[in-house]
A and B are shown apart, each in its own frame.
Chain A
Amino acid sequence: MAIVAQSTKFGTYGRPILAWAVAILFFFPIFWLVLTSFKTDADAVKPEFLFFFTPTLDNYANMTENYDYWRFATNSIITSVLATAVALIVGIPAAYAMAFDPSRHTKDILMWMLSTKMLPAAAVLYPMTFLAKGIGIYDTHFVIILVLTLVNLPIVIWMLFTYFKEIPKDIIEAAQMDGINTWGEIKEILIPLAWGGIAATALLTFIFCWNEAYWTVRLTTTEASTLSALIEGNRAPEGLFFGRLSAVSAAAVGPIVVLGWFCQKQLVRGLSFGAVK
């Protein structure tokens, strides 16, 4: 009885307070970033917590006039969308094969794929850079898409694998008895049934691609640079201009925050419940 009463009390007051505290903790930096982006550079470096100031749009104007924000944004969209698409096109059949027709090596392959995520990116920086330059794909959309796809593929396959695993094997077998071919299985059964999971995977991959900074900064100079490279580039030689930097950062994370906001239901459902049940 005591336990029930306690948990109820916690449920009524404790849990919401805790949830709000965590939410504020996470949200505050974003809030501060946006706030700072409307400050002049002079205001922005003031050491006190400045909540009231005369807002200015100069930082944003400066960004679009001097930095060609839209070119970076376009590059981000192109590389993120295509890398996500390629990762799914490769990942869906791979995860399908491992989920429904596993061999005795399937587990090892999955672990191996995960292990590649444990490799520090810096370890392959030089080979990757030389390779990209050597075959003439440095600073192109192609190399960014390739790298983003490869970096995210293990996660994509793992996520899809767990979603596909939840589809009862009977349904796939029934379809096989009904005369379906492999492509049909994927198109008619797998994708519709795992739609929630696939959408969540796609969304997460897109977010990872969009936010990727290590490779996009190092494998591009001008042509294929993305928004994360733009932020990096704002570490101006004259020093840090916090107002300007904040505006660029806000404009870079803005689209993904908006996307995340609209898709949060799908994302939460996909990440917590899985595909079918």
Chain B
Amino acid sequence: MGRIVLEKVVKRFGETEVIPPLDLTIEEGEFAVFVGPSGCGKSTLLRLIAGLEDATEGKVIIDDEDVTQVSPSKRGLAMVFQSYALYPHMTVRKNIAFPMRMAGVPEAEQEEKIAAAANSLNLTDYLDRKPGQLSGGQRQRVAIGRAIVRNPSAFLFDEPLSNLDAALRVGMRLEISEMHKKMQTTMIYVTHDQVEAMTMADKIVVLQAGVIEQVGSPLELYHKPRNKFVAGFIGSPKMNLIDGAEAKKHGAATIGIRPEHIAVSTKANKGAWKGTVGVAEHLGSDTFIHIHGIEGCDPITVRAGGDLEVKHGDTVYLSPDPALIHKFDDAGLRI
């Protein structure tokens, strides 16, 4: 249960076409992540699947059933919102029970499921509190609990971790991934954070201006980005995109090289490119060096070992790994 297919789906708000005709299949049990810069239509796409927006054209199919005209509640999906969207006037217990109460689940069974969900989400001690008395992380757990108890055919997450602080975000990311491994239910997750996309997804859907730029596994996207946009969007720090003479040497309009695929040396004349260190960010495990003076890309970012001691103004020599250079044509497509 939980195979979701979008067929030629179009969404327009008045005259503005937010999503041009789009086809997408999310397989049963898959963890799909929609990722893209803000305003790329990823949330709209999720809301189309949820039924909170009507598709202007095309079909939304869940488990071989056309649900384009079906109301959100009848699609068998559960959604977790960025703002948590808990019912502020109800206790945690009542919040979690709400969808079951709506579905007419017997009370004994409700209690059982609440207890199980609370247990797995560490919420047992907070069942009688109201959402206002909980921390952000706890609220997000309640929202997840409310989604779990419905046994949905798929979970929809709309930037669920954006309101949490960095440390909590990493923790919740793991929890959601583990939940997926355990439940094997289809999950669709919207985020603008490519790290979340890379770490959680089975399948990443990269969107820009409502158009799917590429669909694939995290490593596929990392190793074989279809175009410059995906190349620049996936990977952290971003891929260096170099235009001009240097690119021409490789027979391309633009070449891309990831920061981790460039060797850096302070020894004179050891390397293809010569530059000057602008900022060196020492993270301990790694050093991110931003280097100026290389034609076609300024600054170029290099990821070096944590031990490398360079400072502002130092001259360095760079050697990109020739096997890992990505080439793009005039239209920005991969060659």
From DSSP, what is the main secondary structure of chain A's interface residues? helix
| Known interface pairs A168-B83, A170-B83, A184-B102; A177-B89 also in contact (CB < 8 Å) | no
* Residue in B closest to A176 when the chains form the complex, CB atoms: B72
Flag if A192 contacts B73 (CB, 8 Å): no
Flag if A180 contacts B102 (CB, 8 Å): yes
Bound-state Cα–Cα, A111 to B82, Å: 34
Let me know if A178 is at the binding interface, CB within 8 A.
yes
Contact with A along B69-83 (1 / 0, CB 8 A): 001111001110111
Query: Among residues 162 to 200 in chain A, which have CB atoms less than 8 Å away from a CB atom of chain B?
Result: 168, 170-171, 173-180, 184, 188-189, 192-193
Let me know if A276 is at the binding interface, CB within 8 A.
yes
How far in angstroms is the closest Cβ of chain B from A172?
Answer: 9
Option from B73, B82, B88 in Cβ contact (under 8 Å) with A179: B73
Contact with A along B53-73 (1 / 0, CB 8 A): 000000000000000000111
Determine the chain B residues whose CB is within 8 A of the CB of A174 once the complex forms. 79, 81, 85-87, 146
Bound-state Cα–Cα, A189 to B86, Å: 11
Most buried by A among B52, B77, B82: B52
Flag if A276 contacts B88 (CB, 8 Å): yes
How far in angstroms is the closest Cβ of chain A from B89?
Answer: 4
Let me know if B222 is at the binding interface, CB within 8 A.
no
Bound-state Cα–Cα, A193 to B150, Å: 24
Option from B73, B83, B89, B146 in Cβ contact (under 8 Å) with A176: B73
Determine the chain A residues whose CB is within 8 A of the CB of B86 once the complex forms. 171, 174
Query: Among residues 90 to 128 in chain A, which have CB atoms less than 8 Å away from a CB atom of chain B?
Result: none
Most buried by A among B50, B87, B150: B87
Flag if B103 contacts A179 (CB, 8 Å): yes
Most buried by B among A171, A174, A188: A174
Flag if A178 contacts B102 (CB, 8 Å): yes
Determine the chain B residues whose CB is within 8 A of the CB of A184 once the complex forms. 102
Flag if A179 contacts B99 (CB, 8 Å): yes
* Residue in A closest to B81 when the chains form the complex, CB atoms: A170
Bound-state Cα–Cα, A193 to B73, Å: 21
* Residue in A closest to B73 when the chains form the complex, CB atoms: A179
Bound-state Cα–Cα, A226 to B307, Å: 89
Bound-state Cα–Cα, A177 to B146, Å: 11
| Known interface pairs A170-B81, A170-B83; A177-B73 also in contact (CB < 8 Å) | yes
* Residue in A closest to B98 when the chains form the complex, CB atoms: A178
Option from A173, A180, A188 in Cβ contact (under 8 Å) with B81: A173
| Known interface pairs A170-B81, A171-B85; A176-B52 also in contact (CB < 8 Å) | yes
* Residue in B closest to A173 when the chains form the complex, CB atoms: B52
Bound-state Cα–Cα, A212 to B83, Å: 44
Determine the chain A residues whose CB is within 8 A of the CB of B73 once the complex forms. 176-180
Flag if B89 contacts A192 (CB, 8 Å): yes
Flag if B87 contacts A175 (CB, 8 Å): yes
How far in angstroms is the closest Cβ of chain A from B327?
Answer: 44
Query: Among residues 91 to 140 in chain B, which have CB atoms less than 8 Å away from a CB atom of chain A?
Result: 98-99, 102-103
Flag if B87 contacts A168 (CB, 8 Å): no
Flag if B87 contacts A173 (CB, 8 Å): no
Determine the chain B residues whose CB is within 8 A of the CB of A192 once the complex forms. 89
* Residue in A closest to B152 when the chains form the complex, CB atoms: A177
How far in angstroms is the closest Cβ of chain B from A277?
Answer: 10
Bound-state Cα–Cα, A276 to B73, Å: 25
Flag if B102 contacts A173 (CB, 8 Å): no
Determine the chain A residues whose CB is within 8 A of the CB of B83 once the complex forms. 168, 170
Determine the chain B residues whose CB is within 8 A of the CB of A276 once the complex forms. 88
How far in angstroms is the closest Cβ of chain A from B101?
Answer: 9
Bound-state Cα–Cα, A276 to B87, Å: 11
Option from B72, B82, B88 in Cβ contact (under 8 Å) with A177: B72
Determine the chain B residues whose CB is within 8 A of the CB of A189 once the complex forms. 87
Determine the chain A residues whose CB is within 8 A of the CB of B146 once the complex forms. 174, 178
Most buried by B among A173, A177, A189: A177
How far in angstroms is the closest Cβ of chain A from B88?
Answer: 7
Determine the chain B residues whose CB is within 8 A of the CB of A178 once the complex forms. 73, 98-99, 102, 146, 150
Flag if A177 contacts B78 (CB, 8 Å): yes
Bound-state Cα–Cα, A32 to B141, Å: 61
How far in angstroms is the closest Cβ of chain B from A17?
Answer: 38
How far in angstroms is the closest Cβ of chain A from B162?
Answer: 13
Most buried by A among B81, B82, B146: B81
Determine the chain B residues whose CB is within 8 A of the CB of A193 once the complex forms. 88-89
Determine the chain A residues whose CB is within 8 A of the CB of B50 once the complex forms. 177
Determine the chain A residues whose CB is within 8 A of the CB of B71 once the complex forms. 176
Bound-state Cα–Cα, A173 to B78, Å: 11
Determine the chain A residues whose CB is within 8 A of the CB of B103 once the complex forms. 179
Pairs A–B under 8 Å by Cβ, sample size 8: A173-B52, A173-B81, A174-B81, A175-B87, A175-B98, A178-B99, A179-B99, A184-B102
Top 8 closest pairs, chain A to chain B, by CB: A170-B85, A179-B102, A174-B85, A179-B73, A178-B99, A192-B89, A176-B72, A170-B81
Chain B positions within 8 Å of A, measured between CB atoms, are 50, 52, 71-74, 77-79, 81-83, 85-89, 98-99, 102-103, 146, 150
List 10 additional contacts besides A170-B85, A176-B71, A178-B98; criterion CB under 8 Å: A168-B85, A170-B82, A173-B79, A173-B81, A174-B79, A176-B52, A177-B72, A179-B74, A179-B102, A192-B89
